[in-house]
Amino acid sequence: MSRQLTTEVAVIGAGVIGLAVAERLLAEGREVVLVDPGEPGMGASYGNAGTIADYAVAPVGTPEVLRNLPALLFDRNSPLAIRRAALPALMPWLLRFARQSLPGPARRNAAAIAALLAGAGPLWQALAGRIGAEAILEPRGCLYLYRSERERAGAAAEMARRRGLGVAVEVIDGAALAALEPGLPPMAGAAFFPDAVFLNDPGRMMQALAAEVSAGAERIAAPATRISRSAGRAVVEGPGFRIGAHRAVIAAGAHSQPLARMAGDRIPLDTERGYHAEWDMAAPRLTRPSCLMARGFYLCPMAGRLRAVGTVELGGLTAPPSPHRIARLVEGAREVFPDLPDTPDRTWMGFRPSLPDSLPVIGPSQGGGEVIHAFGHGHLGVTLAPVTAGIVADLVAGRTPDRDMAALSPARF
């Protein structure tokens, strides 16, 4: 017999977005049921670079990317690649992505991303304080690394655009970089984002957040397979349960699209497959996340290990991990630190929910406000978790969010 539950809010998804939403709602005194078949926080939230990337205002789609799109997509060594078997299914998404990469849309998307990112760092500090995880946050900034003077000079215009969107950034030379990170080999310089913070162990932060939510919310460890409406309430169903809720929040990351369609919204969501490789070590080689721009991945000093993480592979939810993508991460990390073993201690792949304009969908369903969307954050899921949680809490409470909701609306597609 199915369990029959009623609650104020059903949150579907226990990644960083769902957990942050549930924590915020619980803090405001809401009754919450959390629905997810997996271990909370152990998806893409666990395996990322750990950066609270309030500097990452550039969308994935830009005129430069558009000019190089064919080469990027079909070069196996590109930071942005595609599984060729997935190309037919991806074509509608890629066409939308190409349109969003034109100069006008790219500028609008960058401005909307910058507005959404505003205040992300302080919101994370507040969230970490509420759950007793302040020690996991490190306010050391972040680096974009340039191997040549040409790379460094070429970054000037992009960094000027970021400053225009409110980002604090300084382009530094090789000597200044060596002073910041003496463990790195000689390089031409870097872009230094001094206000950035990072999680030195994303998995531990997710565990702390999950523990806080578990203390106040009921959890259904099963997938939500159906969402509907009845008598002004949302109805969430799955194997062995049926929940009637005043509001249902779809925060299931890369798995959100079918639920959104049931709720009345056709969202062009697809999946970026992200990878990491890790080497255990007592002393970190770095003191802050550092992105090797020529290769498009980060080197991150996690607690007790070095993590090489990044690159984008468009390839869906079902194919196995690509050994080639892992090999590229290992090759890039050993290019910087040649003494690293050629076999890392562990590797990982996770799924990022990606939309063509690099903006998430946050807001009421077009089919009715009983369902609220909170997914599609791409590379910014960890960064935007407390921002999204605040917006959702406002919507549940009937307050007007202090963000540009039109840029996030499901009706924009």
Q: Letter for the amino acid at 405?
A: M
Share of the chain above pLDDT 70, in %: 99
More confident residue, 316 or 243: 243
Q: From CA 30, how far away is CA 400, in angstroms rounded?
A: 18
| Listed range (26-30, 67-71, 121-125, 366-370) with the worst mean pLDDT | 67-71
User: Residues 9-58: pLDDT tens digits?
Assistant: 999 999 999 999 999 999 999 999 999 999 998 877 888 999 999 999 99
Residue 75 has pLDDT above 90, yes or no: no
Output the CA–CA distances (angstroms, integers) from residue 53 to 95, 178, 216, 380, in the order listed. 27, 23, 29, 7
Structure tokens at 171: 């382009």
Q: Is 319 helix (H, G, I), strand (E, B) or coil?
A: coil
Q: Whole-angstrom Cα distance, residue 58 to residue 268?
A: 20
Q: What is the mean pLDDT of residues 126-141?
A: 96
Q: State the average pLDDT for the chain.
A: 93
Burial code of 267-286, b = ≥16 C-beta within 10 A, e = fewer?
A: bbbbbbbbbbbbbeeeebbb
Residue 73, pLDDT score: 67
The two three-digit tokens of residue 7, written as one number: 């609650």
Cα atoms in the Cβ-side hemisphere of radius 13 Å centred on 119: 13
Write the pLDDT tens digit of every residue in 119-132.
999 999 999 999 99
CA distance to 40, 121, 204, per residue, from 324 (Å): 29, 34, 29
Q: pLDDT per residue over 282-308, tens digit each? A: 988 999 999 999 888 999 999 999 999
Q: Are 23 and 15 in contact (CB under 8 A)?
A: no
Domains and CATH numbers, the chain: 3-46+204-268+358-412 (3.50.50.60), 59-101+137-198+270-354 (3.30.9.10)
Q: What letter represents residue 127's amino acid? A: L
Alpha-carbon gap, residue 19 to 211, rounded angstroms: 10
Torsion of CA 194, 80, 408, 276, to 10 degrees: -60
Rounded Cα gap, residues 394 and 405, in angstroms: 12
Percent over 90 (pLDDT), the chain: 81
Q: Is the pLDDT of residue 62 over 80?
A: yes
According to the model, what pLDDT value does residue 274 have?
A: 87
Mean pLDDT value across residues 342-363: 95
Q: Considering only CA atoms, which of 66, 61, 83 is closest in space to residue 325?
A: 83
Does residue 85 have a pLDDT over 70? yes
Burial (0-12, 13-18, 19+ Cβ within 10 Å), 211 = middle
**396 pLDDT band (50/70/90 cuts)?**
very high
- Cβ neighbours, 10 Å, residue 160: 11
> What is the band of 170 on the pLDDT scale with cuts at 50, 70, 90?
very high
Instruction: Using DSSP bridges, classify how beta strands 226-230 and 218-220 pair: parallel, antiparallel or unpaired.
Output: unpaired
Cα–Cα distance for residue pair 259/311, rounded to 1 Å: 28
Q: State how far the alpha carbon of 162 is from the alpha carbons of 114, 151, 175, in Å.
A: 9, 17, 23
pLDDT at 312: 76
* Position 193 pLDDT exceeds 80: yes
- Summarised one tens digit per residue, pLDDT across range 105-124 is 999 999 999 999 999 999 99
Give me the residue label for tokens 């369990």: 3
Q: Which two tokens stand for residue 179?
A: 């002073």
pLDDT beyond 70 at 1? no
Predicted pLDDT of residue 273 = 87
Write the pLDDT tens digit of every residue in 227-260: 999 999 999 999 999 999 999 999 999 999 999 9
408/132 Cα distance (integer angstroms): 31
What is d(CA 362, CA 26) in angstroms, rounded to the nearest whole number?
Answer: 19
